[in-house]
Amino acid sequence: MAMKIRLARGGSKKRPFYRVVAADARMPRDGRFIEKLGTYNPLLAKDSEERVKLDLNRVKHWLGQGAQPTDRVARMLEAAGVMPAKVRSNPVKALPGKKALERAEEKAAKAAAPAEEATAKEEAAADA
């Protein structure tokens, strides 16, 4: 039986609340699960302790039994220190566009101009 550690959605419309569950991979997202391992409330602040609650002992048990976490749950487990951090690729889409690069170059040039003037004044004062 292929096991997954995944999120099962609860909560009302536009008010999501998730349970972290260990379930058979063939079962539907919100369907039958074997064990509830924790909760995730995305509406809370990112630094809130109540946002993600996990029973780490049970999570480790299921990982030891061969359960595979989904991508989102894997990130939560990495943050909790249960799994080693995975290096993810940063696609080309994440790079800034042409106009953003031009603006950054202009900003750097403006910042460098006053610094060059101050250096020139200091050198002139040292020569005098």
For the residues 10-26, what does the mean pLDDT come to?
Answer: 94
The residues, ordered by sequence, that sit 6+ positions from 96 with a Cβ below 8 Å of its Cβ are 104
Residue with tokens 């419309």: 13
pLDDT: which is higher, 93 or 33: 33
Give the model's pLDDT for residue 115: 67
Mean of per-residue pLDDT scores for the chain:
88
For the residues 64-84, what does the mean pLDDT come to?
Answer: 92
- Would you place residue 97 in the very low, low, confident or very high pLDDT band (cuts 50, 70, 90)? confident
Domain 3-80, second-level architecture: 2-Layer Sandwich (3.30)
Does the structure show a pLDDT above 80 at 23? Answer: yes
Bridge partners of residue 72, in order along the sequence: none
Domain definitions of the chain by residue range = 3-80, 92-127
Q: Which of these, 46, 48, 17, 42, lies nearest to 30 by C-alpha position? A: 17
For the residues 82-105, what does the mean pLDDT come to?
Answer: 86
Structure tokens at 69: 């976490």
Contact 4, 67 (CB under 8 A): yes
For the residues 28-55, what does the mean pLDDT come to?
Answer: 92
Determine the Cα–Cα distance for residues 109 and 44; give it in Å rounded to an integer: 41
Determine the Cα–Cα distance for residues 86 and 74; give it in Å rounded to an integer: 9
The lowest-confidence range among 13-17, 28-32, 112-116 is: 112-116
